Amino acid sequence: MANVEIIGFPVSTYVRAVRMVCEEKAIPYELKEAAPRTPGAFSIHPFGKIPTMRHGDLELYESKAIATYLDLAFPGPKLIPTDPRAAALTEQWVSLVNTRIDVTMIRTYLFAYILPKTGDGTPDRQAIEAVTPALNEEIGLIDRAVAKGGYLVGDQFTYADINLVPILFFVQRFPEGAAAIAAAKSLTSYYARIAARPSFQKTMPPMVPPQRQAKAS
């Protein structure tokens, strides 16, 4: 059967998450780069979002659906547990990250640095200061969760962790996020442990453009 095709661009946290699933399960895949709302994205997703996936005659969109298919269709470690309790907790964390934490940490906090709506392109300090309390609250929530067993779902590494760590990768590159994560000792250890995994290392995205990084510092 044809290799899996992941369509998207490598800086996307959701594209990285499905690529990490492929790496964890040793699934041969090809990354076909396409930005959101381009013909490559619209070829599968009705709203031009990424990632999308093609495997033979199957086309899928939405990262959780793609991860579920990859986990069920291929051998290797189970990343979405079959135990009802663990499966529900995994789903809970994926949903929370996708509906709340991504909005706070990426769509609001990160974008205020790298895609600011300021006239001169400098970081949007008003947006950053406004979102910082929510950022700190959510980092504290994650810190308490991983303190219990080392991962979001007890002592089991799951897709819930894969779905989260690409977000933390960007958050810890900017001052407020770096300070909040550094103060969260369980989260710091958790992030370092997952960042050492080959799947994380092999899917490292391009860095934030130097001009953006300079403005952020």
Please give the Cα distance from 7 to 158 (Å, whole number).
Answer: 23
Please give the Cα distance from 127 to 137 (Å, whole number).
Answer: 16
Structure tokens at 173: 């590159």
Structure tokens at 67: 């991860």
Note the pTM of the prediction, 2 decimals: 0.93
pLDDT of residue 1: 55
pLDDT in tens, the chain (217 residues): 568 999 999 999 999 999 999 999 999 999 999 999 999 999 999 999 999 999 999 999 999 999 999 999 999 999 999 999 999 999 999 999 999 999 999 999 999 999 999 989 999 999 999 999 999 999 999 999 999 999 999 999 999 999 999 999 999 999 999 999 999 999 999 999 999 999 999 999 987 543 344 333 2
pLDDT of residue 213: 41
Beta-strand relationship, 4-7 and 29-32: parallel
Structure tokens at 98: 């996708």
pLDDT of residue 206: 83
Nearest to 173 by CA among 125, 105, 118: 105
Residues listed for the chain: 217
Q: List, in order of start, the domains of the chain with CATH numbers.
A: 4-73 (3.40.30.10), 84-216 (1.20.1050.10)
pLDDT of residue 210: 39
pLDDT of residue 216: 33
3-state secondary structure of 32: strand
Q: Which amino acid is at 56?
A: G
